[in-house]
Amino acid sequence: MSGQFSRRAGGFSLIELMVVLAVLAIALLLAGPAFTDLIRDNRLVSSAYGVRATLNLARSEALSRRDRVVVCASNAAGTGCTDTTNWSGGYIALMGDGVGATVDAANPGLSRLHWENKTNPAVTVNFTPKLVVFDTIGSALGSAGTFIFCDVRGASKARGLIITNAGMVAASVDSDANGVVEDGAGNDVSC
């Protein structure tokens, strides 16, 4: 047998493959909850960014058009406001000055500035007062309040957007370091 070489087939043995699969399974089990929280955090943040972008657009349009713009919870057809603090079903920015504002059927592009026909179903969006009205100088007198974005994790993971009477929008913060962001009055938000 001096002239023959014994060759071993390349690849992995069955035991090596089983060990690798076991290590991967353990890693996925440990990382799974972290990925779930990451996804939930991203849903909350993207919902807050969507509302913030709509508010900034509405304020900008009120200033440029020198006319009132209302942002409110939308009806299912996207033709007007609903009289509710729950914005989870969608929201709309349109020319007008109150909950009675509607989209001009003859020219919807002029009256409806933006319509978000639904938000992420895993996120609830609430705002008190029920709507925001920007006047011709961009202020939101009488519309100051806090948007609260919640998911199944409750207030400890909630996000918030504060709108001031001056029409400025700012993210809620946890100034007392208790793990819950505060509303515009400094009180912890609740879900």
Q: What is the pLDDT of residue 3?
A: 54
What mean pLDDT do residues 20-32 have? Answer: 86
| pLDDT tier at 158, thresholds 50, 70, 90 | very high
Q: What is the pTM of this model?
A: 0.82
**Domains of the chain listed by start with CATH number:** 14-171 (3.55.40.10)
Residue with tokens 């913030």: 52
Q: What is the pLDDT of residue 120?
A: 83
Residue 117 has pLDDT above 80, yes or no: yes
d(CA 81, CA 120): 19
What mean pLDDT do residues 159-175 have? Answer: 96
- Give 9: exposed, middle or buried? Use CB within 10 Å, 0-12, 13-18, 19+: exposed
Contacts of 99 (CB under 8 A, 6+ apart): 70, 72, 81, 82, 83, 130, 131
User: What are 57-76's pLDDT values in tens digits?
Assistant: 999 999 999 999 999 999 98
Share above pLDDT 70 across residues of the chain, in percent, rounded to a whole number: 95
